[in-house]
Structure 1
Amino acid sequence: MLFPECGRRPNEMRNLLAQLRKVTEATDSLRP
Protein backbone atom coordinates (compact mmCIF):
# COMPACT_ATOMS: atom_id res chain seq x y z
CA MET A 1 0.00 0.00 0.00
CA LEU A 2 1.12 3.55 -0.67
CA PHE A 3 -0.01 4.69 2.77
CA PRO A 4 0.83 2.09 5.42
CA GLU A 5 -0.29 4.47 8.19
CA CYS A 6 -3.75 4.75 6.66
CA GLY A 7 -5.13 2.06 8.99
CA ARG A 8 -3.61 3.69 12.06
CA ARG A 9 -4.53 7.29 11.29
CA PRO A 10 -7.74 7.39 9.22
CA ASN A 11 -8.45 10.96 10.34
CA GLU A 12 -5.14 12.27 9.03
CA MET A 13 -5.71 10.43 5.76
CA ARG A 14 -9.15 12.01 5.46
CA ASN A 15 -7.69 15.46 6.13
CA LEU A 16 -5.01 14.94 3.49
CA LEU A 17 -7.61 13.86 0.95
CA ALA A 18 -9.74 16.89 1.80
CA GLN A 19 -6.76 19.20 1.31
CA LEU A 20 -5.93 17.54 -2.00
CA ARG A 21 -9.51 17.98 -3.16
CA LYS A 22 -9.43 21.68 -2.23
CA VAL A 23 -6.18 22.17 -4.14
CA THR A 24 -7.51 20.40 -7.23
CA GLU A 25 -10.70 22.46 -7.12
CA ALA A 26 -8.65 25.66 -6.83
CA THR A 27 -6.44 24.74 -9.78
CA ASP A 28 -9.50 23.76 -11.82
CA SER A 29 -11.04 27.17 -11.18
CA LEU A 30 -7.83 28.84 -12.39
CA ARG A 31 -8.11 27.17 -15.79
CA PRO A 32 -9.98 29.12 -18.48
Structure 2
Amino acid sequence: MAHGFVTFHEVDQARKAIRDLGGDLAELLTGN
Protein backbone atom coordinates (compact mmCIF):
# COMPACT_ATOMS: atom_id res chain seq x y z
CA MET A 1 0.00 0.00 0.00
CA ALA A 2 1.19 3.49 -0.79
CA HIS A 3 1.58 5.95 2.04
CA GLY A 4 -1.51 8.08 2.56
CA PHE A 5 -3.97 5.28 1.94
CA VAL A 6 -5.93 3.89 4.86
CA THR A 7 -5.95 0.15 5.45
CA PHE A 8 -9.09 -1.95 5.43
CA HIS A 9 -8.81 -2.30 9.21
CA GLU A 10 -8.75 1.48 9.66
CA VAL A 11 -11.78 1.87 7.40
CA ASP A 12 -13.60 -0.83 9.35
CA GLN A 13 -12.79 0.84 12.67
CA ALA A 14 -13.92 4.21 11.33
CA ARG A 15 -17.15 2.69 10.04
CA LYS A 16 -17.89 1.22 13.48
CA ALA A 17 -17.10 4.54 15.18
CA ILE A 18 -19.38 6.44 12.79
CA ARG A 19 -22.17 3.91 13.30
CA ASP A 20 -21.84 4.23 17.09
CA LEU A 21 -21.82 8.02 16.78
CA GLY A 22 -24.87 7.92 14.52
CA GLY A 23 -26.68 5.75 17.06
CA ASP A 24 -25.91 8.24 19.82
CA LEU A 25 -27.15 11.12 17.67
CA ALA A 26 -30.33 9.23 16.79
CA GLU A 27 -31.01 8.64 20.47
CA LEU A 28 -30.54 12.32 21.23
CA LEU A 29 -32.82 13.35 18.38
CA THR A 30 -35.55 10.89 19.32
CA GLY A 31 -35.29 11.78 23.00
CA ASN A 32 -34.42 8.30 24.29
TM-score by length of 2: 0.69
Flag structure 2 segments of 5+ consecutive residues without an equivalent: none
* Residue 26 (structure 2) pairs with residue 31 (structure 1): no
Q: Which residue of 2 aligns with 1:12?
A: 10
Give the Cα–Cα distance (whole angstroms) in 2 for the partners of residues 15 and 5 of structure 1: 15
CA RMSD of aligned residues (A): 1.4
Alpha-carbon distance in structure 2 between the residues aligned to 1:14 and 1:26: 19
State the aligned residue count: 27
Q: What's the TM-score, normalizing by structure 1? A: 0.69
Query: Which 4+ stretches in 1 moved above 3 angstroms?
Result: none
Aligned-pair identity in percent equals 11
